[in-house]
């Protein structure tokens, strides 16, 4: 490394003052352009990340119910509910649902239901089966334990892929939501899954209880809003997942990184020993095919959405680097024809260092912003 730097400095000193000035101007222009590009993409990425943070926070950062909120549903029966997650299927970004298997325990006053039991359903998914495992009387209370299989609709946040967080929630509601005189109040949520997610780590687990205006919450499910119930107790038992490590990030963008490397390192090809057709230009062109491979990988992994995503920003930056390397090659060939080989070589080396450094800065910034 030190030899390369000293050799570069020695060759730069051999240039004429006018040649040095030209090289420095191009270095300055490229610095300004790449700095603006990285800043622009970084700013857009930070906006996407903030949207993800806000989306998650609205759903899980909910304070405990206070007295005034509980008073809104004082005419309804609160059924204490505990959920014990037993198994979750892999989060697949192309699928609409995730299969889950869990135990759920209800504790309620026997007199409130006159020998009957509260009927429940999954608000954000489909209940496949619910098997009563145990029913017992505990003083004035009735305790029931069910084994539940369901398909849950996760809140997929594809805009930050491949550094996305995914929120898997279970929301328990009465079977007849509006006409029921009871609601399920979560008192515990525990994770007992033994099989880990393939691509995600569990970062956080918890539950929230909320009191909402049922007209706002249930309008999409209930056509008739004629009811004496003005407020409804709702809940969310959640599991927040994040990608496992930086290796997962690198694996997801491997073809983008390959494209950037092909384009950038092509600047080290000696333009004097190969024709533009068979040499550097052809190598830069091949980086486009590597970038196209990323599109196929992305389509096989995630659903398409109508929004700018983190992977889109990285693809755009890669495209900028490829076009930039092509333009640098064109200018190098002009230097080779109109000036000297020494001038062209110094120009190539300067542009190579800048494009490589800013590419590393960009992808490192993406990872830092997203984690």
285-302 core/surface letters (b: 16 or more CB in 10 A; e: else): eebeebbeebeebbeebb
Task: For the chain, give the longest Cα–Cα distance.
Answer: 99
What's the rounded Cα separation, in Å, for the pair 168 and 87?
12
**pTM (2 decimals)?**
0.84
pLDDT at res. 188: 96
Antiparallel, parallel or unpaired: β 231-243 and 165-170 = antiparallel
Q: Which of 259, 264, 248 is CA-nearest to residue 301?
A: 248
For residue 72, what are its two tokens? Answer: 């809104």
What's the rounded Cα separation, in Å, for the pair 281 and 326?
7
Which segments of the chain are extended strands (E)?
Answer: 77-88, 98-109, 120-122, 125-138, 141-152, 165-170, 172-174, 182-191, 200-213, 231-243
| DSSP string for 270-306 | -TTTS-TTTTHHHHHHHHHHHHHHHHHHHHHHS---S
Q: Could you tell me the CA-to-CA distances from 141 to 113, 175, 318 in Å, in that order?
A: 11, 21, 63
Number of H helices and E strands in the chain, helices first, is: 10, 10
Contacting residues for 285 by C-beta, under 8 A, at least 6 apart: none
pLDDT at res. 158: 87
Q: What is the DSSP letter of 15?
A: S
pLDDT at res. 222: 54
pLDDT at res. 84: 97
In the numeric block, the tokens 């990184």 are attached to 257
pLDDT at res. 237: 96
pLDDT at res. 227: 52
In the numeric block, the tokens 């959920």 are attached to 83
pLDDT at res. 185: 96
pLDDT at res. 352: 94
Residue 165, classed as helix, strand or coil, is strand
Domain residue spans of the chain: 2-51+247-370, 63-244
Q: What is the mean pLDDT of each run of 10 residues along the chain (371 residues)?
A: 72 83 93 96 94 93 90 91 95 90 96 90 94 92 96 89 92 87 95 87 94 66 55 91 84 91 90 63 86 81 84 93 93 85 88 95 92 79
Centroid of chain to Cα 185:
30
pLDDT at res. 190: 96
Centroid of chain to Cα 208:
23
pLDDT at res. 168: 94
What's the rounded Cα separation, in Å, for the pair 333 and 346?
13
pLDDT at res. 216: 59
Superfamily name and number for 63-244: Neurotransmitter-gated ion-channel ligand-binding domain (2.70.170.10)
Q: What are phi and psi of 245, to 5 degrees?
A: -160, 180
What's the rounded Cα separation, in Å, for the pair 38 and 43?
8
pLDDT at res. 275: 59
pLDDT at res. 40: 95
260: left (phi over 0), alpha (psi -120 to 50) or beta: alpha
Answer yes or no: are the C-beta atoms of 267 and 329 closer than 8 Å: yes
pLDDT at res. 54: 94
């Amino acid at each position: 490394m030190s030899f390369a730097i000293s050799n570069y400095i020695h060759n730069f000193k051999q240039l004429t003052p006018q040649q040095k000035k030209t090289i420095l101007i191009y270095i300055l222009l490229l610095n300004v352009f790449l700095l603006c590009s990285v800043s622009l993409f970084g700013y857009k990425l930070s906006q996407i990340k903030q949207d993800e943070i806000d989306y998650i926070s609205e759903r899980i950062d909910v304070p405990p119910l206070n007295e005034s909120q509980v008073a809104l549903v004082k005419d309804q029966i609160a059924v204490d509910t505990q959920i014990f997650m037993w198994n979750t299927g892999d989060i697949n970004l192309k699928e609409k649902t995730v299969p889950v298997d869990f135990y759920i325990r209800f504790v309620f006053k026997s007199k409130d239901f006159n020998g009957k039991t509260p009927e429940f359903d999954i608000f954000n998914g489909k209940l496949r089966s619910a098997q009563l495992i145990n029913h017992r009387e505990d003083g004035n209370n009735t305790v029931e334990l069910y084994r539940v299989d369901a398909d849950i609709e996760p809140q997929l946040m594809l805009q930050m892929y491949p550094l996305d967080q995914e929120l898997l929630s279970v929301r328990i509601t009465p079977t007849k939501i509006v006409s029921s005189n009871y609601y399920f109040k979560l008192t515990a949520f525990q994770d007992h899954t033994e099989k880990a997610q393939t691509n995600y780590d569990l970062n956080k687990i918890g539950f929230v209880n909320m009191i909402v205006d049922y007209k706002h919450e249930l309008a999409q499910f209930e056509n008739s809003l004629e009811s004496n119930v003005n407020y409804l107790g709702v809940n969310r038992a959640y599991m927040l997942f994040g990608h496992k490590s930086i290796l997962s990030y690198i694996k997801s963008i491997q073809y983008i990184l390959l494209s950037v490397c092909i384009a950038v390192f092509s600047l080290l090809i000696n333009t004097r020993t190969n024709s533009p057709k068979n040499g550097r230009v052809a190598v830069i062109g091949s980086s486009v095919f590597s970038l196209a491979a990323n599109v196929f990988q992305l389509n096989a992994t995630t659903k398409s959405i109508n929004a700018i995503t983190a992977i889109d920003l990285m693809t755009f930056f890669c495209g900028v680097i490829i076009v930039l390397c092509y333009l640098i090659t064109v200018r190098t060939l002009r230097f080779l024809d109109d000036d000297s080989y020494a001038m062209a070589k110094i120009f190539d080396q300067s542009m190579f260092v800048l494009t490589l450094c800013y590419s590393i800065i960009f992808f490192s910034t993406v990872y830092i912003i997203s984690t």
